[in-house]
Chain A
Amino acid sequence: MAQEPQTVEPADTPPAPPHPAVQTVQQRFGNAVEEVVTFRDEITLRLQKDAVHDALQLLRDDAALRYDLLIDLTGVDWRVRAPRFDVVYQLYSTANRHRLRVKSGVNALERGDSIATASDLWASANWLERECYDMFGINFAGHPDLRRILLPEDWNEGYPLRKDYPLRGHKQWGQYH
């Protein structure tokens, strides 16, 4: 059964001061920061869904942090957890040469849930969010052009990267075959 990743840290290391980016976000969005995980020297910030857009904007525009590249945006399906999905943003700051990961939970499209789009902050989020929608069925509210990108436009067989999507099947895909 899938488990949420846990922090694996030796017990005898003294706690290091949090990274400036973490401090800044915690100051601004105190309660919205659900968790800060450091694993293999990578920092992951888990935020509440409603705060993600503003936090990303803060991380991008803050004069000291300047996470100006949205390197990647993707989803993770946790199947039985609520909210079901994680949306994962990988940020990079060209000025500080630092990577940061921001995460947030969101439920499936058919449950009527959605997360705010980042495509107004970074143009690269446009296709990445489309792919996320295509593969996981996550709705990005405010996205200018949310349609399938890798699969055919009228694919109505679900979202393939969900864990309950079968790995193989015997059905013939008529026109796509």
Chain B
Amino acid sequence: MADTTTTRPIIADMPHMPGIDEQSVESDRVLEGGDREMILNLGPQHPSTHGVLRVVLRLDGEVIRACDLVIGYLHRGTEKLGENARYVQFTPWTDRTDYISAPSNNLGYIMAVEKLLGITDRIPERATYFRVILAELTRIASHLVGIGTHAMDIGALSMSLFTFREREMILDLFENYCGARLTTNIMEVGGFQRPIPDTFWEQTREFLRVMPERLAEYEKLLNANPIWIGRTKGIGYISREDALSFGLTGPLLRAAGVNYDVRKALPYLVYDRLDFEIPLGENSDTYDRYLIRMEEMRQSLRIIEQCMAQMPTDGPLMADEPKFVFPPHDAVMFEAEAMQRHFKLVIEGFSPPPGEVYVGIENPKGELGYYIVSDGTPHAYRLRIRPPSMINLQIVNKISVGTMIADLIAILGTIDMVLGEVDR
């Protein structure tokens, strides 16, 4: 047994941790039968915490008695940066919050800025459909990473090899359109600047063709896998009341039986014209949430297919709003007015009217919201990112109590958080 007077590193810098009192480091709390409780520090460099998350646990044997999540290791002050950059300059930063689903983050921010400017209705239809396609591709990519790493954490190592293979196809699609794979910076205020290459559609069709088989393949690997079922069924139960009280959104809330998906509840872009279903859970456990993510991927495939069918084959991709929108690249090179406009937008930016907007969209992880307060200058006065990962993560403190350490890994996997977004 360790000498308790010398080994107190955790409590020394964590004076007020709830549920983990100052005396209980390793020895003071003696249980029946003479055993002692133990404080275990999981992370911040633990692989199954999906980033730099530190979990401090008070353990009775293998059973968790108290849990405290320590976040902030990846804090970069994104909101402060957003308040000191012009509106257009901030778009690349949104990629770096939830870095698994960059196009979707761009979309939320761009929609908030457009709403602030009052040009939401001016976006060409073709661009709107293309936004939906990119957002749904992102959803599939994010769920693939989520399920792959989740399965890898709890014993099904090969899953990540399969899911990352298909994610690669989506990243190739992003790369084909904008040249970047992860931090895409793909959306712009007003629509899209670059034309969509024909190869993009070929690749997308190919992806739509192979993906249903691959999803069936994953299910073959997991649905009848006794280890997977044993480690997910009945684990991490969240009641409906808790889900609402903890502000959960996304698959976690829908697994608890609450029908809230922003795409259906408050339709944005063209989601009201598309036919898709919102899967709901019954048991609200880790297995249910896995099933919901699988079904959401199928629905996303349906959405992409419909978008490709409904999307106008030609027409502008950029709104005709010279005050807010960059001129085409070719025009900048050869037309004096376009170059002046470009120069002005780069140097000065645009100034939305004073006011405040909140835009929430359905990100793969839950509701991603941008709350922007404008004071009429080219910078946001206040830029708040509503991070779904962070708000979803908080419930771990509650649902992990009474479970085994191994279940905590399953719970962290099913929350599907990205620490870049948790800490911003």
Contact = CB atoms under 8 A, between A and B. Distances in A.
B18 A144 contact: yes
Given A97-B265, A122-B247, A167-B80, A72 B386 contact: yes
A70 B367 CA distance: 12
Interface residues of B, number: 52
A90 B266 CA distance: 15
A151 B72 contact: yes
Given A40-B355, A153-B15, A127 B394 contact: yes
Interface stretch (B89-97, B174-182, B375-383): B375-383
Contacts of B395: 123
Contact of A6 (B84, B354, B360, B373): B354
Given A3-B376, A90-B358, A150-B71, A127 B390 contact: yes
A74 B371 contact: yes
Interface string B76-94: 0101100110000000000
Instruction: Output the residue of A6, A7, A72 with the most chain B CB within 10 A.
Output: A72
B271 interface: no
A4 B355 CA distance: 8
A149 B358 contact: no
B63 interface: no
B355 A94 contact: no
A124 to B, nearest CB: 3
Nearest to A163: B83
A167 B81 CA distance: 8
Instruction: Output the residue of B247, B354, B356, B357 with the most chain A CB within 10 A.
Output: B247
Contacts of A94: 244, 258-260, 265
B77 A160 contact: yes
B81 to A, nearest CB: 8
Instruction: Output the residue of A69, A76, A101, A147 with the most chain B CB within 10 A.
Output: A69
A105 to B, nearest CB: 14
A144 B356 CA distance: 31
Nearest to A97: B265
B116 A40 contact: yes
A149 B71 contact: yes
Given A150-B72, A154-B13, A127 B391 contact: yes
A99 B358 contact: yes
A2 interface: yes
Interface string B254-265: 000011100001
A24 to B, nearest CB: 20
B5 interface: no
Contact of A145 (B18, B116, B246, B247): B18
B391 A128 contact: yes
Interface string B7-39: 000000111101000000000000000000000
Interface in A51-80: 68-72, 74, 76-77
Contact of A90 (B369, B373, B394, B424): B369
Interface of A: 2-8, 39-40, 42, 44, 68-72, 74, 76-77, 88, 90, 92, 94, 97, 99, 101, 122-124, 126-128, 135, 144-145, 147-154, 160-161, 165, 167
Given A5-B374, A72-B384, A135-B79, 18 more contacts: A2-B375, A40-B115, A90-B358, A94-B244, A94-B265, A97-B266, A99-B266, A99-B358, A99-B360, A101-B358, A122-B245, A127-B391, A128-B391, A149-B71, A150-B72, A153-B13, A153-B14, A161-B83
